[in-house]
């Protein structure tokens, strides 16, 4: 058992206890961050005279050789070690001797693991933002390509008013813009360095914590050593933000699943992002969208887990906090995988524009515009609402759309209708006259697309 402690113990830790306590099985993900933090730490120690320049160079050289050997596969991180910290330190001592024993001067595993987790989380936030940017760029292209692709907008899953595919995709664009912003906010809030906080009460060594923070690209050192080693707010915030990302992906996936159904046929998912049935040869299933929808619960569970773990922990560090890692790692990997696959799916998806437009026409999505037409011809809105309701009922009985009613049929219900009713209720007119910012009209959408282009360029 390779441990960083044991001097006051008179016998070996029970093997079951050791296994239960050990974190090497998952915190080995930190090997790069642990070595990066250690290099910054010994660089600072030399600057304040705790280490000589020769000792610093020995330690840094040894740490870099361990990093190189891990990444080349020359050495393997095994369960012989309690955690990634003991693995690195034990290997360093094996390589450079007594100088390696000075690595841990002025720090504790408590501030070390707090640093590693922050460095890892910070790196992953950057990767997540890149994946979100890629998704938004693909949504932006869908918007630009579909300014005149008419489709029904829905409320209560009932066809409501006509919109465009550009407008519909734009709703998700706004969601993912907010997700990107949340990740940026978390990065800004968390980017302060806990190293130098010690176990909970700092250290008697005159550490230059600002130098350490600068070396690791933090904005500065954290300001309370107890909070520094016990803070997991940034993980809770991240898991909350990732849960929201997954909620947005799940909503979009649900719509794609519906649109892909035989009844809707709004889209066809590319063969590369579909699967078949083992028994039914005709099937082409939207499994990626379904899995994204399903994996949302997995990320929610990670958030609930860390909230539950943290709710009763007194200051400062407690071993419970070891439970923050596996769920966080899994949630990050899940969201990254879902973002990547979802982006590939929508990028290769075919939209059946005629089917979308016909669905909008046959769903009476222009009924509100027919009522507005009457209002503009002097009919009170409440009366106009009733008149158009009668027209819809007539269409249902005849199995036709409002566009297919004859002018005589219109005028039998209200003499206010004239020949121009057909232009007033065309899908193009219904959409194009809605041009307040945020609406689906082409002029309004072009303004939004221009705003989004500038936004994406700045990311």
**CATH code for the domain in which residue 375 is found:** 1.10.40.30
Q: Is the pLDDT of residue 275 over 90?
A: no
Regarding whether 376 and 334 lie in a shared domain, the answer is no
- d(CA 325, CA 120) in angstroms, rounded, equals 10
Q: Is the pLDDT of residue 18 over 60?
A: no
CB atoms within 10 A of CB 110: 21
- d(CA 271, CA 335) in angstroms, rounded, equals 23
What lies within 8 Å, CB to CB, of 359 at 6+ separation is 151, 152, 159, 264, 266
Query: Does some domain include residue 213?
Result: no
Res. 202 pLDDT band, cuts 50 70 90: very high
Question: DSSP class of residue 193?
Answer: B
Query: Does some domain include residue 5?
Result: no
Helix boundaries (H) for 146-232? 165-190, 209-215, 225-230
The alpha carbon dihedral of 291, 297, 303, 305 has a sign of: negative
pLDDT of residue 5: 43
- Look at 280 and 386; give whichever has higher pLDDT: 386
Query: Does some domain include residue 82?
Result: yes
Q: What is the pLDDT of residues 329-339, one digit of tens each?
A: 999 999 999 99
- d(CA 167, CA 280) in angstroms, rounded, equals 36
Complete DSSP assignment for 374-414: HHHTT--HHHHHHHHHHHHHHHHHHT--GGGS-HHHHHHH-
Mean pLDDT to the nearest integer, 68-79: 95
Boundary (domain end) residue, out of 84, 105, 126 = 105
Regarding whether 423 and 324 lie in a shared domain, the answer is no
Regarding whether 270 and 157 lie in a shared domain, the answer is yes
Phi, psi at 270, each rounded to 5°: -60, 145
Query: Does some domain include residue 84?
Result: yes
- CA nearest 227: which of 111, 105, 305? 111
165 burial (CB, 10 Å; 0-12 / 13-18 / 19+) is: buried
Q: Is the pLDDT of residue 16 over 90?
A: no
Regarding whether 171 and 75 lie in a shared domain, the answer is no
Query: Does some domain include residue 370?
Result: yes
- d(CA 439, CA 151) in angstroms, rounded, equals 14
Q: What is the pLDDT of residues 390-438, one digit of tens each?
A: 999 999 999 999 999 999 999 999 999 999 999 999 999 999 999 999 9
Complete DSSP assignment for 248-298: HHHHHHHHHHHHHSTTT--EE--GGG-B--SS-TT--B-HHHHHHHHHHHH
- d(CA 371, CA 383) in angstroms, rounded, equals 9
Tokens encoding 188 = 């800004």
Q: For residue 85, what are the CA distances in angstroms to 80, 110, 218, 279, 310?
A: 12, 11, 21, 51, 23
Query: Which domain range does residue 274 map to?
Result: 110-205+223-358
HSE-CB of 81 using CA atoms within 13 angstroms: 19
Regarding whether 335 and 245 lie in a shared domain, the answer is yes
Res. 276 pLDDT band, cuts 50 70 90: confident
Regarding whether 158 and 121 lie in a shared domain, the answer is yes
Regarding whether 321 and 282 lie in a shared domain, the answer is yes
Boundary (domain end) residue, out of 77, 105, 133 = 105
- For the chain, the average pLDDT equals 94
What positions carry a catalytic annotation?
156, 277
- CA nearest 116: which of 379, 329, 352? 329
User: How would you write 232-249 as a 3-class SS string?
Assistant: CHHHHHHHHHHHHHHHHH
271 burial (CB, 10 Å; 0-12 / 13-18 / 19+) is: exposed
Q: For residue 214, what are the CA distances in angstroms to 49, 105, 145, 209, 319?
A: 18, 19, 45, 9, 29
**CATH code for the domain in which residue 255 is found:** 1.20.200.10
306 burial (CB, 10 Å; 0-12 / 13-18 / 19+) is: buried
Regarding whether 71 and 184 lie in a shared domain, the answer is no
Regarding whether 248 and 146 lie in a shared domain, the answer is yes
What is the count of structural domains for the chain?
3
- CA nearest 371: which of 406, 338, 434, 416? 416
Regarding whether 89 and 130 lie in a shared domain, the answer is no
Query: Does some domain include residue 353?
Result: yes
**CATH code for the domain in which residue 90 is found:** 1.10.275.10
Regarding whether 375 and 338 lie in a shared domain, the answer is no
Query: Does some domain include residue 6?
Result: no
Regarding whether 348 and 331 lie in a shared domain, the answer is yes
Q: What is the pLDDT of residues 297-314, one digit of tens each?
A: 999 999 999 999 999 999
Query: Does some domain include residue 7?
Result: no
- d(CA 143, CA 166) in angstroms, rounded, equals 4
Complete DSSP assignment for 17-52: HHHHH--HHHHGGGHHHHHHHHHHHHHHHHHTTSS-
């Amino acid at each position: 058992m390779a441990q960083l402690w044991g001097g006051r113990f008179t016998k070996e830790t029970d093997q079951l206890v050791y296994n239960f306590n050990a974190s090497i099985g998952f915190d080995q993900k930190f090997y790069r961050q642990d070595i990066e933090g250690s290099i910054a730490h010994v660089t600072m120690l030399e600057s304040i005279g705790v280490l000589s320049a020769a000792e610093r160079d020995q330690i840094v050289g040894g740490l870099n050789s361990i990093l190189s050997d891990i990444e080349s596969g020359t050495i393997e991180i095994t369960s012989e070690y309690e955690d990634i910290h003991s693995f690195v330190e034990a290997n360093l001592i094996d390589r450079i001797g007594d100088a390696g024993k000075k690595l841990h001067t002025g720090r504790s595993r408590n501030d070390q693991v707090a640093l590693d987790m922050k460095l890892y989380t910070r790196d992953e936030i950057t990767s997540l933002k890149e994946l979100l940017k890629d998704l938004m760029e693909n949504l932006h292209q869908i918007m630009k390509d579909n300014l005149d692709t008419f489709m029904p907008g829905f409320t209560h899953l009932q066809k409501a008013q006509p919109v465009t595919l550009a407008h519909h995709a734009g709703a998700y664009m706004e969601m993912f813009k907010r997700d990107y912003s949340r990740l940026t906010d978390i990065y800004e809030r968390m980017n302060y360095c806990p190293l130098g906080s010690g176990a909970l009460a700092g250290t008697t060594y005159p550490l230059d914590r600002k130098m350490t923070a600068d070396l690791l690209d933090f904005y500065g050192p954290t300001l309370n050593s107890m909070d520094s080693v016990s803070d997991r707010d940034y993980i809770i915030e991240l898991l909350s933000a990732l849960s929201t990302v997954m909620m947005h992906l799940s909503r979009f996936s649900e719509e794609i699943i519906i649109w892909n159904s035989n009844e809707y046929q709004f889209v066809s998912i590319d063969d590369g992002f579909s699967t078949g049935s083992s028994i039914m040869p005709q099937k082409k299933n939207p499994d990626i969208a379904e899995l994204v929808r399903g994996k949302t619960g997995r990320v929610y569970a990670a958030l609930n887990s860390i909230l539950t773990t943290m709710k009763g922990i007194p200051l400062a560090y407690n071993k419970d906090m070891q439970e923050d890692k596996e769920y966080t790692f899994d949630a990050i990997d899940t969201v990254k995988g879902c973002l990547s696959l979802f982006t590939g799916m929508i990028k290769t998806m075919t939209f059946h524009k005629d089917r979308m437009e016909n669905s909008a026409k046959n769903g009476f999505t222009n009924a509100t515009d027919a009522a507005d037409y009457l209002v503009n011809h002097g009919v009170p809105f409440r009366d106009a609402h009733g008149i158009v309701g009668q027209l819809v009922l007539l269409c249902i009985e005849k199995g036709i759309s409002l566009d297919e009613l004859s002018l005589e049929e219109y005028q039998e219900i209200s003499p206010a209708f004239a020949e121009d009713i057909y232009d007033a209720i065309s899908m193009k007119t219904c959409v194009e006259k809605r041009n307040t910012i945020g609406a689906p009209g082409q002029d309004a959408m072009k303004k939004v697309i221009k705003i989004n282009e500038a936004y994406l360029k700045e990311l």
